[in-house]
Amino acid sequence: MKSVLLLILSLMAGCEASSEVKGCEGGWVELTCKYPRADQEYQKIEGIKPRGTRIKSTKKDVWEKDDRFSLYHDTRNKNLRMAIKQLKSEDFGKYKCKFYQRPHSSPETQKLELKVVKNGCQTPFNQTAYETAKTTITCDFPKKYNSSVKFICKDNNEICEEILSTQSSVKSNGTFTLTDTNSFNMSISNVSSQHAGVYWCGVKSNEGSYRASLRKIQLEIKSE
């Protein structure tokens, strides 16, 4: 993984705002487009990929998958979440989130642009742990991420479910414990087969407008 993605998010709902997220080619990003107007209900929402391909959100409050792309129309938090997995060069370009008050009305649009920036991603690695023992997953974040929220999540095929983050109110979640917030070490005690799988080190914005992976950890569990 040698490429870093730079995401510039331009909101076109009366004013413009921008933010950026860095993720890795081969990894994933999750973008959040908030309702242009929080007091408005939207009957139809679309995600427009580069080259104009449309991904329609036909359901509410459930993930809808289209190849490597997934949409989630979150009516409770009033936003559209767009997840892109296994990022490829063809994914770079301009995106749009379109919100329709009625199916055939003129949409309110938010524009996003996904760009490639060289260098900065971390090499994925395989880690072995033994049942009933303790293991530690370590994420080394460069200083440029000091202002970002850091987290570790586990891939569940749909999305990467966050386990702990530097934003967490508690530093322990069952068998998972955050042991070092600087380099972000997360220990797993009393390891069992259910802990096997793919974990990701990632960063996200404080306001929740994006999440992005930086490193992949494949955890294998063995018997003593």
- d(CA 197, CA 188) in angstroms, rounded, equals 13
- pLDDT (0 to 100) of residue 111: 85
| CATH fold group of domain 3-118 | Immunoglobulin-like (2.60.40)
Show the tokens assigned to 93: 């370009």
Burial class (CB in 10 A: 0-12, 13-18, 19+), 193: exposed
> What's the chain's average pLDDT?
84
How large is the average pLDDT for residues 29-47? 91
Look up residue 51 and give its DSSP letter. G
Tell me the β-bridge partners of 219.
127, 197
Whole-number percent of the chain with pLDDT over 90: 45
Q: Residue 214's Cα: distance from chain center in Å?
A: 10
Fold of 125-222: Immunoglobulin-like (2.60.40)
pLDDT category of residue 85 using cuts at 50, 70 and 90: very high
Matching CATH topology for 3-118 and 125-222? yes
Interval 2-29: pLDDT, tens? 444 444 444 333 333 444 556 678 889 8
Domain boundaries, the chain: 3-118, 125-222
Confidence of residue 116 (pLDDT cuts 50, 70, 90): low
pLDDT digits (tens, 9 = 90+) for 157-214: 878 999 999 988 888 988 999 987 777 899 999 999 999 999 999 988 888 788 889 8
Reported confidence tier of residue 35, pLDDT bands at 50, 70, 90: very high
**Residue 80: per-residue pLDDT:** 94
Residues in the chain: 224
Report the DSSP pairing between strands 79-84 and 135-138. unpaired
Per-residue pLDDT reduced to its tens digit, 126-158: 999 999 999 999 998 888 788 888 999 999 887
Is residue 71 very low, low, confident or very high in pLDDT (cuts 50, 70, 90)? very high
